[in-house]
Amino acid sequence: MAQDRTSRDPSSSAQGAAGEAAQHPWVKNLARVGLAAVGVVYVVVGGLALRLALGSGGGGGGAPDQQAALQQIQGAPLGRFLLGLIALGLCGYLIWRLTEAFADVQGEGSEPKGLAKRAGHAINGLVYGGIGLQAGLMALGRSSGGGGSSQQEWTARFMSLPFGRWLVGLAGLLVIGYGMYQIYEAWQEKYREKLIYGRMSAGERRWVDPLSKAGLVAHGIVLGLIGAFLIQAAYTFDSQQAQGLGGALNEIAQQPFGPWLLGIVALGLAAYGVYKLAQARYHRVLAR
């Protein structure tokens, strides 16, 4: 009887269907391509930010962001083809993150902590799905708009909603919390739980730990700044205060010893990209 009730439960059926989708080889392959695409984007962002820190320019006005990375790829040989691959990969990444959230692929559970992690998977997928949409538009030769203005536009839309100001502030707190968790992941080496070390060569194991730690710390710091910008936007009721990755890097560059700090963070973001590339190949769930 219990089994019959479970089979008639729409939420259980939906979760089961999502779980089956998550185990499908093409979903896994798309997710791995998506992780690789995220890695490539961050390696390019790190390289552009390092150029800016060294005084060579970041490929446009101000500090680079994911949009600048996509523009840099667009200008490379076969740029539109590469952008198409990135768009496809990030679409797969979105599908994977949503199946993680709804099917609980990684066994996070239904307790508040587990539900928060699963919600984080969904939000993470939606963010990179948006970047994938930008890449797809650029691959088709269409403008996708600027990264910073898009951030401010979406913040303004949310603040126009009932309780929107509080929602933006809450989003800022969540982004800061996720950034702090990434730093915690680096400190406690939690990232190791996502990787199959047994399949790595000795050389790969030597570089994957320091690069993963540096990458997670740098990305966590940047997320903390982005979250602080959102809270400031909510507090002042001014969507222009909201900034994305480029704004966070600009803020770092304006601090005392800014070029040095920016260079360190740039190397960290490139390392985060390499960490994502390692996940694409050795992710514990996807590589099964």
What is the DSSP secondary-structure string of 251-281? HHHTSTTHHHHHHHHHHHHHHHHHHHHHHHH
Q: What mean pLDDT comes out for the span 140-144?
A: 71
Residue 106, pLDDT score: 67
DSSP helix/strand/coil, 283: strand
pLDDT value at 259 more than 60? yes
* Rounded mean pLDDT, 120-144: 82
pLDDT, tens digit (0-9, with 9 covering 90-100), for 70-102: 888 888 888 889 899 888 888 888 888 888 788
Q: For the ranges 165-169, 233-237, 240-244, which has the lowest average pLDDT?
A: 240-244
Backbone conformation region of residue 238, classed left if phi is above 0, alpha if psi is from -120 to 50, else beta? beta
Domain residue ranges in the chain: 15-282
Contact yes or no for 242/155 (Cβ under 8 A): yes
Count CB atoms within 10 A of the CB of residue 193.
Answer: 10
Give 160 or 214, the one with higher predicted confidence: 214
Phi-psi region of 78 (alpha: psi -120 to 50; beta: other; left: phi over 0): left
pLDDT at 2 (0 to 100): 45
Mean pLDDT score, 221-235: 93
Bigger pLDDT: 129 vs 265: 265
Q: Are 72 and 19 in contact (CB under 8 A)?
A: no
Percent of the chain surpassing pLDDT 90: 24
Query: Taking the mean position of all CA atoms in its chain, how far away is CA 264?
Result: 19
The pLDDT value recorded for residue 42 is 93
Cα separations in angstroms, 49 against 55, 110, 278: 10, 40, 22
DSSP lists the bridge partners of residue 195 as: 283
In this model, does residue 233 exceed pLDDT 60? yes
Place 105 in a pLDDT band, splitting at 50, 70 and 90. Answer: low
Structure-block tokens of residue 70: 């996509």
